[in-house]
Amino acid sequence: MSAVHPRGGTSSAPETIALIGPGAIGTTVAAALQEAGTPVQLYGRTARDQLVLHRGDHDIVVPGPVITDVSQVADPADLVFLAVKTPQLEAASPWLAALVGPETVVCVLQNGVEQEAALAPLLPEGRVVPAVVWFPAETQPDGSVLLRGDARLTLPHSPAASAAAQALSTTWCEVELSTDFASVAWRKLLQNAVAGLMVLTGRRAGMFRRDDIAGLALDYLHECLAVARAEGAALDDDVPAQLLARFQSFPADLGTSILADREAGRPLEWDARNGVVQRLGRAHGIPTPISDVVVPLLAAASDGTGSVSGPAAVTPG
């Protein structure tokens, strides 16, 4: 997979930058821009006076406010970073309607491989830039965000992506432009898909050291690989084994954002991370027996109906 590093590119930096969804990932990107002296307009669901990112041994404050009323958007932005979770996209679409003009580039900071397809009905063609987000960031109880590790994104090598890359080129958020973005995105998707098994056990990465879970994970990764290849990803035969080995090498107590969402009773990104393999597998005529079990269970776990936190009125059987 070849990659191009964007520093020193010739395209001009966007003048107005907006962020929709100032959560863990959005706060990280906003803080990187802020520290490089680039102002960002913040649009979200929860009103805040400012954002705070803990990075290494210091804190970065991004001045707010976080605007929550779409009628307060005056003009479209040149560049929009969209960092809501995938189930939140529909509710966030009024922000896109207000902030996107004919020349606006929207860089989507989300997991999955369907960002362009999801935004196609809402945006002009060629203006959506999907991103693979490589860094873990966690929202703390006080609303601040803890960045773990180095911030890094992969974007496709496209004219629209150069606007996002240019904006970030003077920041500590590293951007790589890939000439084979589909393969990079699908590799990350395989990682996300198998992490979904943690939701079904309520266990963290240590579970992948069990022989039975390792076997299941490997079979699931091979199922995902077949779909990825049918979608054009160039991934080698040993990618499933590499990914499994990686999970087995993680600290036993390392979680994943979809498990954190499950533990907090929030909607899960099951469709973008797992459902996509089943849907696209069916479209290509590829059997997906593991997805056929995993996906309905994740969907049900995401659904409030029958929640264990509600009153247990009747115990059947």
Q: What are phi and psi of 200, to 5 degrees?
A: -75, -20
State which of residues 162, 257, 278, 291 lies at the interface with ligand NAP (CB under 6 A).
Answer: 257
CB of 284 to ligand NAP, least distance (A): 24
State which of residues 133, 160, 173, 280 lies at the interface with ligand NAP (CB under 6 A).
Answer: 133
Stretch that binds ligand NAP, among 89-97, 207-215, 225-233, 294-302 (CB under 6 A): 89-97
User: What are 106's strand-pairing partners?
Assistant: 80, 128
- Identified catalytic residue from 55, 127, 157, 188: 188
Stretch that binds ligand NAP, among 30-38, 52-60, 81-89, 213-221 (CB under 6 A): 81-89
**Does 40 interact with ligand NAP (rule: CB under 6 A)?**
no
**Does 224 interact with ligand NAP (rule: CB under 6 A)?**
no
State which of residues 9, 76, 136, 267 lies at the interface with ligand NAP (CB under 6 A).
Answer: 136
**Active site (annotated) includes residue 85:** no
Does residue 43 come out as left (phi exceeding 0), alpha (psi in the -120 to 50 range) or beta? beta
Interface residue list for ligand NAP (CB under 6 A): 20-26, 43-46, 83-86, 88, 91-92, 95, 109-111, 133, 136-137, 139, 257, 269
Point out the residues that are catalytic: 188
